[in-house]
Amino acid sequence: MNKTMLAVVMLTLLIGFGCLSQQSQTSKISFVPEVKGCAASNTSEANATKSFGKEREPEIKIEKNGVIYSRAISHLCCRTVKLEYKIEDSTINIYEIWNGIGCKCICFSEIAGKLENLPAGKYTINVYETGTKPDGKPMEEKLIISKDVSIS
Per the model's pLDDT, the better-predicted residue between 142 and 24 turns out to be: 142
The whole-number average pLDDT for the span 64-69 is: 94
User: What pLDDT score does 133 carry?
Assistant: 96
Percent of the chain at pLDDT > 90 equals 67
Q: 12 falls in which pLDDT band (50, 70, 90)?
A: very low
| Count of Cβ atoms closer than 10 Å to residue 59 Cβ | 14
Given CA atoms 141, 81, 27, 62 in this order, what sign does their dihedral have?
positive
Distance of alpha carbon 79 from alpha carbon 136, whole angstroms: 10
**Residues near 10 by Cβ (< 8 Å), separated by ≥ 6?**
none
Check pLDDT > 90 for residue 118.
yes
Residues 104-114: pLDDT tens digits? 889 999 999 99
Would you say 120 and 44 are in contact if contact means Cβ atoms under 8 Å apart?
no
Q: In the predicted model, what is the mean pLDDT of the chain?
A: 83
CA distances from 77 to 17, 40, 71, 100, 103 (A): 51, 11, 17, 9, 5
- Bridge partner residues of 90 (DSSP): none
Domain coordinates of the chain in residue numbers? 30-151
User: What pLDDT score does 104 carry?
Assistant: 87
